[in-house]
A and B are shown apart, each in its own frame.
Chain A
């Protein structure tokens, strides 16, 4: 994703304020919907001038990781017999990384997914796999929106508000 470099345009203050308000509203809605939890704010706090893209970098790593894990799960569920322990191990990994970035809905889906692995319910696992896939896609979309809004604020000469 492109970042603004060099001189930023200093848009009128009310435009920056408006962008900031939209950003705060959007991020707030993500918390209220349960898409993100406080851990996401914890990560944002770790960002500074020396690491301005930290949150984006972690999110990127998460999606690389989740794509791989989801593919592994799908492959394992296609094998016969299904190795539920392997699927469970992958779901556990995804649960861990989603928890680490504050992706609460993904994490909660993983919790349910693991219970189906434990009872070795093939249908349950398939449903959870689809839900996890969907939820990761939704999360990616929303985070891309969020990061784009951050760029707009910075590009207009403002600073990204921290939810604290």
Chain B
């Protein structure tokens, strides 16, 4: 059985107020997404997911490339904007990347007066609650668990600057009212990434308690969490995989 978490986390304060500060786009047509991921396989997949969802896509392999594309010189801390200004409507970035992590990139974008309005979504294969909290607090719109599915990407339209006129108001209200950090919808899990060594017990297969992990921030150093309970999780995973039926419908309505 696959272990994909259906859930993602969103900022509680995101809502209709955000529309007031949105800039009109100069280009007509589809919204433009900048995808950042160091994995070649993941770049190809996210690119396809985005294109199928009618987004234009630019996929880059690193945070520094992303900043170059956005016109932010990596070395300048002032956030001076001197780039191509190709109107990026959303940034979707992997968290764990060598050099500049997705969190570092998020910070740079949010610190830049020219770029801070661009919504940023973080992807990660590791569910580390402290990491999620940190990203949401820094201004990420959402934290999506990998592997990313079509339904995850289709949902991104709600953050699009370009789509502001088409935004479904009731949908936006739903986003505000959901307390996503405290609500986890999970199917059978075989994924070890649920287990962070500082906040979960090794033997529990049920959804993790929503306690904030006490693991230290890892903005610029290695962002890999310790898989100290991985062996136990792997055994549990093998057991659930062999007995689970294949399921083709996903909790969030499928594609």
B146 touching A96, Cβ below 8 Å: yes
Residue of B149, B227, B230, B248 with most partner-chain A CB within 10 A: B227
Interface residues of B: mostly helix, strand, loop or mixed? Answer: loop
Partner of A65, one of B40, B98, B224: B40
Chain A residues, CB < 8 A from B191: 99
Interface residues of A: mostly helix, strand, loop or mixed? Answer: helix
Classify chain B: how many residues form its interface, as a range. 35 or more
Chain B residues, CB < 8 A from A41: 248
A66 to chain B, nearest CB (A): 9
Q: Which of A6-14, A15-23, A27-35, A73-81 contacts B (4 or more CB under 8 A)?
A: A27-35
B158 CB within 8 Å of chain A:
no
A39 touching B2, Cβ below 8 Å: yes
A selection of 28 A-B contacts at a CB cut-off of 8 Å is: A32-B246, A37-B1, A38-B250, A42-B147, A42-B149, A42-B150, A45-B150, A46-B48, A65-B40, A89-B98, A92-B224, A93-B39, A95-B125, A96-B125, A97-B40, A99-B146, A99-B147, A102-B147, A104-B241, A108-B238, A111-B192, A111-B230, A111-B234, A114-B192, A115-B228, A115-B234, A118-B227, A163-B248
Chain A: residues with CB nearer than 8 A to chain B? 28, 31-32, 34, 37-39, 41-43, 45-46, 51, 54, 57-58, 61-62, 64-65, 85, 88-89, 92-93, 95-97, 99-102, 104, 108, 111-112, 114-115, 118, 163-164
